[in-house]
Amino acid sequence: MTLVVRDGTSFVPSPTTVLRRGDELLVVATDPVRDATEKRLRAVGEGGKLAGWLGSTGTIKRK
């Protein structure tokens, strides 16, 4: 993650930065890394930090 925008202010996240609902993220990466990052963020959004242990995959559910 390269940049977080929160409440109209941007900052470079540190290793201890906690993401909040509504944060906007700028991720600069190759396509495969970007896709993996998006998948992981979706999984954490669904299942919290233990998403992998709880079975959340972060895949987009299409109807």
* Within-domain flag for 60: no
The pTM assigned to this predicted structure is 0.61
pLDDT above 70: residue 11: yes
User: In which band, very low, low, confident or very high, does the pLDDT at 12 lie, cut at 50, 70 and 90?
Assistant: very high
* Within-domain flag for 31: yes
- Tokens 């970007």 belong to which residue? 34
* Within-domain flag for 59: no
Number of structural domains (the chain) is: 1
Measuring CA to CA, how many Å separate 29 from each of 8, 14, 26, 46, 52? 23, 18, 10, 23, 22
* Within-domain flag for 7: yes
Residue 62 pLDDT: 56
* Within-domain flag for 50: yes
Residue range of the domain that includes 34:
3-54
pLDDT tens per residue across span 19-57: 888 999 998 999 999 888 888 888 887 777 777 666 666
Query: What token pair was written down for 48?
Result: 């919290």
